[in-house]
Amino acid sequence: MAIEVITREDLNEFRTLLLADLKEILQTKTQLTKQWLKSNEVKKLLNISSGTLQNLRVNGTITYTKIGGILYYSNADLEKLLESNKVEASPNLFNPKWLVR
């Protein structure tokens, strides 16, 4: 039976990794439960530019609320928008026969 020695460096590395994982989980959970998002949060969430976000507002694709010059977007509305535009994958598009020689 082999004996493994755990050093302080091992414990410190484990602690650092564990804290990083916990921070990521907490940040993700906070973003998901937030009811209203500002423009920067929406751009980051959807990975779009300011111009794209403005175009989505102008053409009525995305709803928003403006209070004192700050634009707010409903998280629930964004989720509905994403769900309504979801494109289902077609299993017929991938044909593995071309892989066989």
Tens-digit pLDDT profile for residues 53-88: 999 999 999 999 999 999 999 999 999 999 998 888
Scanning 34-84, the segments in alpha helix (DSSP H) are 39-46, 50-58, 75-84
46, two tokens? 């959807």
Name the phi and psi angles at 51, rounded to 5.
-65, -40
The span from the CA of 81 to the CA of 88, in Å, is: 15
Is 45 domain-assigned?
A: yes
Full residue range of the structural domain in which residue 42 is found: 34-85
Is 25 domain-assigned?
A: no
Query: What is the number of structural domains in the chain?
Result: 1
State percent of the chain over pLDDT 90.
60
Residue 91: predicted pLDDT: 66
Bridge partners of 66? 71
Is 95 domain-assigned?
A: no
Is 64 domain-assigned?
A: yes
What letter would DSSP give residue 29?
A: H
Is 2 domain-assigned?
A: no
Which CATH number goes with the domain that contains 50?
Answer: 1.10.10
